[in-house]
Structure 1
């Protein structure tokens, strides 16, 4: 039985590493997505914002299709082997993207990455299975912190490849390399967390089990079938809808910002690819700092539910000012500082929001045996939201550029965030009927 956060630290950091490599693959394309699409001759200039959003969205669309499937696979073969399979596929699809020389090849590589590397829900499940209630804020925020480090590395990776024919290969070679490293660490360190499977395919300290473990696996399988109909209730559904709305406008905003910064002055900031990369770098560095120093403190002080409701209350306001920043009559450095503060405020909100949501989903799932199913469904619906967010936002931005009203795209995001606020009073923080953490077996 794991009695303190130090007992699960190695597992938490390994899970965080797996999420970090996934985040690395996701975010490394942000600084060069616009220029990559521009380099494909078959894409008209006025369609670049839409295709930039598409290139980002197809990853999460693939995860939407496959997340529930991977959750069921993890219930059948265990969490650890499923995570290892996803990480191996992640390395392969990153290399495919690096060798892409057309919009079809690039979109196909990103789509495969989403279909074959849906690790997010499984990592959430593993964290929920090993962390007790009093450990949750630190455990989930630690995983998210390490993921934020992956985002930081992703936007820091430059696209200046030594291979002129494949100018976007170098960052994807680095992505693949980190995923291979994560595969090795997980193989050596990660322990199986699914009840009844523990001790199988585990790293250090995971031996033993024998016939008793086989019996536990059979009992666990019977429990899953018996309690399958008890997995879903109103709170689980509300939590999934809430995090999906947050995912829609948060990722939609992320997809808009790169193009918004690249647009000519008056409608955007006219930044170069290098300047956009620095903005994303500052944003992700701030996320790492907030995740490390602030998130668990805020959650411990306010409580999980109250902290999450504050996030939902503030987010509708967060998008209102952004489209008008290029027109502020301020000196260049001051205007850039205002831009960074605007972006960082959204980072702080999403950092707290995602950790709170992960805890709330864990606590409101009626049956621990159904946690993988719930997290798989949450990841699936959330991925659909993260797919629609960039696609619709990119289309609205393209319309806004044509009509000279770029605020349309940002205010649409504010409207979606307002729906999340309407739902907020109905959310609860209920302990699962069978208790939380690994000590409840």
Structure 2
């Protein structure tokens, strides 16, 4: 048989699937069309896991609207000299403290979860987040604020563990694109909520006098100036709200979240026992639902067992063979054996994305708030100034597009991912970032046009939001697929989270320095073109060198079939 004939035969066999015993009876396209949010397996577990993700936006984004005024109030205390020129530097330090703390513990959380289980690791991280948020609100020195910001960041190093748990809960790859969207959806919703709550609950005596003022509802002692503790700790209320929400998430996860680590998922869980007791009491006494007397096997669990079982394990009559529940410890590779070539390539891509995205999230609001410059004789690259928007306008505008990101994740990403695949979506998203960053600084030239500036702002922001909406879940899925074994997913995602935190801490710092330099020399676009656009182009080029698992499997099967036909 000639080589050409062998290739044609291999192609035909790949198309009809006659050489693959595990090939489904229906076509992959028909199978993908059946994947919807309604039939997504383990929705309750994914919802619990997504709620745990609220720890990140509540701990990190909530303080942004009032951080400037918090630092200013502390520096104005009698014990501290008044130094307004230090406010900007200290606020930047407080913002960077969170990802720095996250970076130091992400790998540790991952290794702990691989050894002791995903659930206890997540519960410990949430507990520390609750303590850090409560304590941050009642801190009145810069040193204590920094300490609790670092602690909150260290606690939220569990983000990689949550991503690992998502991959282990939803084992079938055709569901993973939607499964990995659930936590980002909650994250974006929490971020929008955190920005709004942070601005509204800060300094409640002045912002909500009907509740905390001299005649307020909560002023039980009738203090002539308002609620006493709110006067002493004017920025504690947002932190109290954050800590309370996270405490509810902690209790819910303790009672109903199931372990997903294969070596630990069969272990006895006292929290689940209490959770089932509470659920049964609610069904019987409140919902008035009678127990059927037996516990049916969930359909989605049976599907996973069927999907994971080898094809030869069923008898000729179609019944499943008994499952061996004997515990055995699977092989765990040594630490240095984890870092394969494909994984290292994907980790670099995982770190490049937040490098420019985190810079945008910090620079763009500053750029919109900067005063307008006349730019009497601008050139293609030499011009400066911002758009002169008020902070409430900036916050409302960004929150609006945060809602757009949620809608895009719900309706746009799954459709595009189904058509061009995960790696295709990642490459497409990376091609949009440079266009948005290259165009952004030219908004300053439209500051005098009341209609054009809003349309241009919407175009730039929508492009960046759409790109990151597609890039982030695709990046997580690709990193998951690059892991050499499922047993080291916690370590792999811990490494990814470490790189992401490092990029999130250093990117805005470098961006802020370049923005200040651009203002000094009259070229506001330096930070956009010489930093964000450059990094985005590097990320685009690197994405073209990546290979998805589908491409590698198809190539492997083609080689095997060619060898078999010769």
TM-score range with shorter-chain normalisation?
Answer: 0.7 to 0.9
User: Which residues in structure 2 correspond to 1:327-338 (within 5 Å)?
Assistant: 327-328=445-446, 330-338=448-456
Match of 1:101 among 140, 144, 150: 140
CA shift for structure 1 position 283? 2.5
User: Which residues in structure 2 correspond to 1:8-407 (within 5 Å)?
Assistant: 8-41=42-75, 48-131=87-170, 132-157=172-197, 158=199, 159-162=202-205, 163-200=230-267, 201=269, 203=272, 216=327, 219-220=329-330, 223-224=331-332, 226=333, 228-266=335-373, 267-328=385-446, 330-407=448-525
CA shift for structure 1 position 29? 2.3
CA shift for structure 1 position 52? 3.6
With structure 2 as the length reference, what TM-score do the two structures score?
Answer: 0.69
Moved more, 154-163 or 307-316: 154-163
Aligned equivalent of 1:424: 543
Provide the alpha-carbon RMSD of the alignment.
2.7
CA shift for structure 1 position 73? 1.4
Number of positions where the alignment pairs a residue of Structure 1 with one of Structure 2: 423
With structure 1 as the length reference, what TM-score do the two structures score?
Answer: 0.88
Task: Return the structure number with greater helix share.
Answer: 1
Q: Write the deviation string for residues 48-100 of structure 1: whole angstroms up to 9, x where unpaired.
A: 55544332222111111100111111122211111111111112212233234
Aligned equivalent of 1:439: none
| Whole-angstrom CA distance in 1 between matches of 2:261 and 2:59 | 27
Distance 1:228 1:107, change over 3 A: closer
| Whole-angstrom CA distance in 2 between matches of 1:398 and 1:37 | 21
| Whole-angstrom CA distance in 2 between matches of 1:48 and 1:400 | 21
CA shift for structure 1 position 260? 2.2
| Whole-angstrom CA distance in 1 between matches of 2:475 and 2:539 | 12
CA shift for structure 1 position 405? 3.0
| Whole-angstrom CA distance in 1 between matches of 2:551 and 2:492 | 13
CA shift for structure 1 position 330? 5.0
CA shift for structure 1 position 292? 1.8
| Contact 1:287/1:348 (<8 A) preserved | yes
Moved more, 4-13 or 311-320: 4-13
| Contact 2:432/2:463 (<8 A) preserved | no
Find the structure with the greater CA-based Rg. 2
Moved more, 373-382 or 3-12: 3-12
Moved more, 424-433 or 406-415: 424-433
Q: Write the deviation string for residues 175-196 of structure 1: whole angstroms up to 9, x where unpaired.
A: 1111111111111221100011
Gaps of 5+ in 2: 1-33, 76-80, 206-229, 278-294, 296-323, 374-384, 554-566
Q: Write the deviation string for residues 281-327 of structure 1: whole angstroms up to 9, x where unpaired.
A: 11321121111222222211221011101111221222122223133
| Contact 2:432/2:464 (<8 A) preserved | no
